[in-house]
């Protein structure tokens, strides 16, 4: 392992777990493993690579099986279907044995070379070292815009602060990992959970490139789902705001009632009003439906939680515990 010049000595005897969720990443996995191994050799730590195949339909499991056979540092977990990145990360975290854990994407958009700096910051006392995207050259303009707007809204609605331009790529000390493991909720927005536990955090800037191969599995609909989950799982404001709407409605309509009664008494019955009535009915009806929908989001979440199903199912490691 000791091939390159730069060594970080005080982390000797420490172990770092890399958690790599993989969904149809067969094409680029070999490159990723080579790049990540090269970086880990620069650091004087033992390491394990936990690859979680999240129900891929390409040759990802074959590549990972081969990697596990030739490299003793590799642990390959195969989920029984596609559970989503958040569940795959949870599976990795549950099986990680390291003193620090680093979730990292398999597509080389999170540069493994940054791990050297992350470990240095950890060594200097940080509990969490976040990789912050100084540029998003790999993202489209619309993704940049929606992402900016989303983090702004998230900050306004929730008590926790999820820094913008930060993904799941970060180093977490064992103590932080153990705290995250105490959060058993089924609707998992990992970035939110990582931020929720707190701890001393430092940031390292990096330039996020485009994917090395394959294509992103997050289309607009999926990103939207993840984003809404991030808000509904961490804030009750969307639920409570309807009380304010209702109160404002009562106040405004009370004023309007007085005006209408006054007009009728002083000027007689005002016949026209078809258009305004129709608009009011449609508007109030839609508003009520949105309110109901938001209520449904929360009730749905309560339903999911009470079923208490496992977050993921590992199918290739019979001895390990599933994500209950
Ligand atoms: N991923 C996963 N399960 C999924 C979707 C994605 O494990 O259902 C993995 C994927 O293989 C990659 C990481 O999550 O390692 C990030 O996914 P992607 O690159 O598609 O997202 P983006 O970088 O576009 O946000
Ligand atoms: Mg990616």
For 228-264, write each residue's pLDDT tens digit.
888 888 888 998 888 888 889 888 888 988 888 888 8
Residue 2 predicted with pLDDT over 90: no
Question: pLDDT at residue 6 above 50?
Answer: no
**Which residues 6+ apart lie within 8 Å of 31 measured at CB?**
108, 212, 213
Tell me what pLDDT residue 273 has: 76
Best of 85, 138, 213 to mutate for ligand 1, by most ligand atoms within 8 A of CB? 85
The reply to whether ligand 1 has any atom less than 6 angstroms from the CB of 105 is yes
Percentage of the chain beyond pLDDT 90 is 45
Nearest-atom index, ligand 1, CA of 106: 15
8, 123 contact by CB (below 8 A): yes
Determine the atom of ligand 1 nearest the C-alpha atom of 82: 8
Ligand 1 centroid from CA 218, angstroms: 7
- Among the bound ligands, name the one nearest to the CA of residue 25: 1
Tell me, what's the pLDDT at 136? 65
- Is pLDDT above 60 for 176? yes
pLDDT band at 277 (very low <50, low <70, confident <90, very high): confident
Residue 221 has pLDDT above 60, yes or no: yes
Average pLDDT, whole number, for the chain?
A: 86
Q: Please list, in sequence order, all residues whose beta carbon lies within 8 angstroms of the beta carbon of residue 30, skipping any fewer than 6 positions away.
A: 63, 67
Ligand with smallest separation from the Cα of 215: 1
Average the pLDDT over 164-171 and give the result: 88
This prediction's pTM = 0.79
Does the beta carbon of 217 lie inside 6 Å of ligand 1? yes
Which pair of tokens denotes residue 76?
């390959």
Tokens of 189: 């927005």
Of 91-95, 159-163, 184-188, 248-252, the range with the lowest mean pLDDT is 159-163
With bands split at pLDDT 50, 70 and 90, how would you rate the model's confidence at 11? low
Please name which ligand lies nearest the alpha carbon of 312. 1
Q: Which of 26, 105, 140 to mutate to test the pocket of ligand 1 (most atoms within 8 A of CB)?
A: 105
What is the Cα–Cα distance from 281 to 26, expressed in whole angstroms? 54
- Cα separation of the two ends of the chain: 36
C-alpha span between 306 and 299 (Å, rounded) = 11
Stronger pLDDT, 50 or 229, i.e. the higher one = 50
Residues 106 and 32: their CA atoms lie apart, in Å, by 6
Query: What sign for the dihedral angle of Cα 62, 68, 69, 70?
Result: positive
- Residue with the two structure tokens 């992103």: 216
In degrees, to the nearest 5, what angle opens at C-alpha 130 toward C-alphas 128 and 134?
Answer: 160
């Amino acid at each position: 392992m000791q091939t390159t010049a730069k060594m970080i000595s005080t982390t000797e005897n420490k172990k770092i777990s890399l958690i790599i969720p993989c969904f149809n990443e067969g094409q680029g996995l070999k490159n990723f493993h080579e790049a990540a191994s090269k970086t880990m050799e620069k650091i004087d730590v033992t390491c394990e690579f936990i690859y979680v195949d999240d129900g891929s339909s390409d040759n990802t499991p074959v590549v990972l099986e081969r990697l596990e056979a030739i490299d003793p540092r590799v642990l390959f977990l195969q989920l029984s279907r596609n559970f989503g990145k958040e569940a795959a990360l949870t599976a990795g975290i549950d099986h990680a044995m390291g003193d620090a854990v680093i979730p990292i994407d398999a597509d080389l958009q999170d540069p493994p070379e940054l791990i050297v700096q992350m470990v240095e910051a950890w060594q200097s006392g940080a509990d969490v070292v976040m990789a912050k995207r100084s540029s998003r050259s790999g993202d489209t303009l619309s993704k940049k815009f929606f992402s900016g707007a989303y983090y702004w809204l998230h900050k306004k609605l929730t008590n926790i602060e999820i820094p913008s331009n930060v993904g799941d790529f970060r180093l977490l000390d064992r103590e932080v990992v153990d705290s995250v493991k105490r959060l058993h909720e089924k609707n998992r927005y990992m970035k939110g959970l990582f931020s929720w536990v707190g701890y001393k955090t430092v940031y390292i800037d990096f330039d996020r490139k485009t994917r090395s191969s394959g294509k992103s599995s997050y289309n607009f609909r999926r990103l939207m789902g993840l984003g809404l989950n991030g808000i509904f799982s961490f804030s009750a404001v969307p639920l409570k705001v309807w009380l304010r709407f209702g109160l404002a409605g009562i106040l405004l309509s009370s004023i309007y009632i007085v005006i209408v009664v006054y007009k009728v008494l002083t000027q007689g019955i005002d016949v026209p009003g078809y258009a305004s009535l129709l608009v009011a009915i449609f508007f109030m009806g839609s508003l009520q439906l949105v309110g109901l929908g938001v209520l449904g989001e929360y009730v749905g979440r309560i339903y999911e939680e009470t079923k208490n199903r496992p977050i993921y199912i590992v199918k290739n490691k019979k001895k390990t515990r599933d994500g209950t």
